[in-house]
Each structure stands twice: as C-alpha cells, then as structure tokens.
A and B are shown apart, each in its own frame.
Chain A
Amino acid sequence: MIGISRTKLFALQALVAAVALLIWHVGSTVPIGGTYLLPKFFFSTPGDVIARIWKLFAGGQIWKHLSITLTETVLAFLIGSVGGVLFGFWFARKPIVAAVFDPYVKMANALPRVVLAPIFMLWLGLGIWSKVALGVTLVFFIVFFNVYQGVKEVSSVVLANARLMGMNERQLFRHVYWPSALSWMFSSLHTSVGFALVGAVVGEYLGSAAGLGYLIHEAEGVFDVTGVFAGMVILAAFVLFIDWLVTLIENRLLVWRPQPASHA
C-alpha cells in the first residue's frame, strides 16, 4: 500500500503520540531556567488530564453527557438527511423550482450557522431540540447538494438504457435516480455526520445543561484547563468512534462502488 507493514505503521503512529505527550509532559512539569515552557495553568499536564478522564468515566457522570450529545447528533443527522434527500430530489426533478429558490438556497447556505444558535434557543429552549436544529441546518445543505448533484449527474447513457428497457418514472426513481443519489449522499456521509456533531457540541457550548459541549464550557468557565482538555480528548475519541461506525455502514451499502485507486 504505502510500502511499510501494518505493525511498523502503527508503531510510527504511536511514536508520534508518545513524542507529543512527552513534550507536553516535560514542558509543563520540568522547569527550564526557573520557568515552565507550558505553564500548568494554561496547558495542564498529560497526567492530570488522563486522571480527570479516568475520574469522569469511573464516576459515571460522563455517560449522561455522552448520551445527550449522541442523541442530538443522531437526530440532527436523521432529520437533516431526510430533508436534504426530499428537497434534493424535488429540486433536481423540477428545474423551475430549483431556479426560483436558487438565490435563497445560496443565501441560507452562506450564513454562518452559529448566528442561528441564539434564535433556536429562543424558539426551542435550552433542551436538546435547539442543538438538533443547529445540526440540521448544517447537515441539510450537505445532503441536499449531494442528492441534487447525484440526481442531476445520472449517466445519460444509463438513463437512456433504462428508459428503453421500458422503465416508468417510478421504476427509474427506484433503480436509477435513488441509487445514484444515495452514492453521492454516502460519499459525504463522513462530512455530514461530523457536522451533525459540530452542531450539537456548538449548541451545547452556547447554552445547555448537559452534553460534551456543556462539559467543556463549564470547565472553561472556572479556568479548569484540565477539564477542558479532558472534554476535548473524550470528544475526539467519540468522533473517531462515530466515524468508524459510518465506515462500517458505508462498506455494507456501497459494495458496488469501485475502490478508489489508492486503496486498490
């Protein structure tokens, strides 16, 4: 693949982490000429952060935050995807609708979503739904544009062949448009799941009573840098876990797709 064995690759990857942790550890605990390179107050120490993570999991309170964030992410992803698929199909099949709404879609997509957070909090309260709404506005546009493209870019030859086979509109939808749109949607699955999570965490950060974003915000409020770093590490691990789940789903659903050249 890239010329080295899996074990060697893993060893090198682990080495990068070890070096980074070592620099962090030395910088924050060993004084050089009387001063710390990475003062504890601003950077905490790797030992403290690990201890804090351990405490969070051992105490059990982390599971509540994780499940809240996961729920928000999943809901934002599902609602955003369903909306994106419906509108993507509608716009692609009805060029007039697409032309009429074009400037508004562009405008809505150009808007930085963070500014919507206060509005959603006013409308939907501090519970999970204001975070879900924020995630939906992010996921919707990704899925929408991909489905729109997927339906638009169906190979004209495949389409002509299917029509000559005698397919009616319903069959064309099922056997041609839908699989094509789905493949485009799945190619953006990692991005859209990631954005669902961003929406959830940013929403929590801006105002909530639970979730990983809340955890980090709370720690920041009392200058608890160890808590902020612990939250970040848990968040990163959580993202990797979700990304791994998405890859599993993707591999199952897109068996027909040729592997990209770099993986072959």
Chain B
Amino acid sequence: MVVLRVIERDAPGAKPPAVALDAVSIAYGGGAQPVYEAVAPTTLRVAESEFVAIVGPTGCGKSTLLNAAAGLLKPASGAVSIFGEPLSGLNGKAGYLFQQDALMPWKTALENVAIALEVGGMASAEARKQAKAWLARVGLSAFADRYPHQLSGGQRKRVGLAQVLIRDPKILLMDEPFGPLDAQTRQIMGTLLLDLWATDRKAVLFVTHDLEEAIALADRVVIMSCGPKARIIGDHAIDLPRPRDVAEVRLDPRFHTLHRAIWSELRDEVTKAYGAAT
C-alpha cells in the first residue's frame, strides 16, 4: 500500500458501520486479457444490527461485492472497512453462508458445526456440546450423526447456518443462501433466519435475486444494475414491522406497495440482463 486514503465521512462520534464499501470496484483479467470491470465504483454501508439485502438480476456482480466484504476477493479500487478498520486478508469478524454446499462431506452434521469452534482452539467435548445445542436451535437434533449427503438441501442449509452462527460472528454475509431450495423451504428457512437474527441482531448483508425474499427479510433493499460495470441504482428502506413471518408478511398491503415501487426499478434491469443473456 503506497497510498493510504482515510475515508471517514460519517459524523464524528458516530459508530462506524459494520461493513463499509467505499468506491469499491471489481475487475477481472488484466495482463494479456482484456480487463472486465464487473462492478463499477460502488459505495455501500451496513450499519450495526442492520439487515441489508442486495437484489439484482442473476450474474450481475452482487456476489462479488459480498466476496469483497468477506476478503475473498481484492477490489480493483476503493476500500473495504469493517467496523472502521480497513480490511486486510480474510474478514475474521464475518460469517459467510454460501449458495453452494460448503459443508465438509466427510464430517457428520455435528462434526461440521463443532469444527467451527475447534479451529479456534476449543476442546472437542465442549465444542460438541455447543454444536448439539445449535443443531437443536435449527431443528436438526435428530440428524446430528448424518453425513451431508444423507440430508436434504434444506437440512444442509440449516447445518450451514449453525456452522456459521456458532462462531457468533459480528457480521453475517449471505450469498443467495436459499437459492437452490424450493419455495416452501425457502420461506421456512427465511423465518428461521429472522428468528435467530432477532436474538442478537447482527449486521447482515444478504444477496438474492428474489425481490420478495429481500423485502420480507431486510431493513433495506439495495438494487444493483446489470453488469458489466454494475452499480447501485436504488436503495429502499423497508418499514414493515418486526417480528415478521416470511410467509405471512407477503399478504401485508404495505408489502405490495413496496414491491411495486421497487419492481418498477428492477424490471428494466432484469429485461436488460435477459436480453444480454439471450
């Protein structure tokens, strides 16, 4: 790092945001290959205890922003700070729930959850005890000794959720975590997520292509345009009361008003993305 930039636009004394992406851009290629700028300089903040959902058409750079916040991807420009500290390397304060299966197939559900504590040096017996409690919280007590391939897609996501939350991360990063699940299971998982989140209100950055899911879960819905040079084109506060039931909140008239307003923005982008893909 030759140039150190101090970006502190928040009012003095205010708590720094849990996640701050300042003019972050993401590019691939370089060298012999032409540079593909996936995400144009983008600024996004997630406050403490805030649940932010990023919505946009599939394949538009939403996940790359998330990976930048996790430290899995180095932005081409801009700065990532976590609770005011510039991020270097992997983000140790964040838990990451992947879209794909990220469980270790050679470990049972219990071992997969317990390992999250064991890597931090906790004794195996204590880690297993806590892992059991977490499996109970996600409703999988009876499946502790199953291997991932013996669980359904929804059950694997529950194990993944327990594996991430048992470490008590300050920030939760979720990359279309319920994408591969069927509609009913998604709603059940959404409600489970909100119930767990309500106990300690971590900062959440939740990526999805499903606008309804985003409105039902989040405090704020951010709309991303379609790549290349994806950027944020809309930012909507969701003032639906909490606690919410993900299935029932969809019947709320306010939900429909919000949905209509946001969809009118999103529709053009989805059409554009669809046109580009075909």
Contact = CB atoms under 8 A, between A and B. Distances in A.
Interface of A: 155, 157-158, 160-168, 171, 175-176, 179-180, 183, 255-258
B77 interface: no
B104 A165 contact: no
Contacts of A258: 149
Contacts of B108: 256
Interface stretch (B90-98, B136-144, B269-277): B90-98
Given A175-B104, A258-B149, A166 B98 contact: no
B92 A166 contact: yes
B70 interface: yes
B115 interface: yes
A166 B70 contact: no
Nearest to A176: B104
Contacts of A167: 119
A165 B167 contact: yes
A180 to B, nearest CB: 8
Contacts of A160: 72, 96, 98, 102
B197 interface: no
B119 A161 contact: no
Interface in B82-110: 90-92, 94-96, 98, 100-108
A179 B106 contact: yes
B106 A256 contact: yes
The 7 closest A-B pairs by CB, nearest first: A161-B102, A258-B149, A179-B106, A256-B147, A256-B106, A157-B100, A157-B102
Contacts of B94: 164
Contact of A164 (B96, B100, B107, B149): B96
A257 B107 CA distance: 10
Contacts of B238: none
B107 A157 contact: no
Given A164-B96, A179-B104, A183-B106, 6 more contacts: A164-B70, A164-B90, A166-B119, A175-B104, A256-B106, A256-B108
Contacts of B95: 164
Nearest to A159: B102
B120 interface: yes
B167 A158 contact: no
Given A175-B104, A256-B149, A165 B115 contact: yes
A250 to B, nearest CB: 14
Contacts of B103: 158, 161
Nearest to B173: A164
B142 to A, nearest CB: 18
Nearest to A167: B119
B116 interface: yes
A128 to B, nearest CB: 36
A161 B103 CA distance: 8
Nearest to A160: B72
A90 to B, nearest CB: 22
B154 to A, nearest CB: 18
A161 B105 contact: no
A43 B274 CA distance: 72
Contacts of B147: 255-256
Nearest to A179: B106
Contacts of B149: 256-258
A257 B119 contact: no
Contacts of A158: 101-105
A182 B148 CA distance: 18
A256 B107 CA distance: 7
A161 B91 CA distance: 12
Interface string B167-179: 1000000000000
Question: Which of A161, A162, A163, A167 gathers most chain B CB within 10 Å?
Answer: A161
A4 B154 CA distance: 36
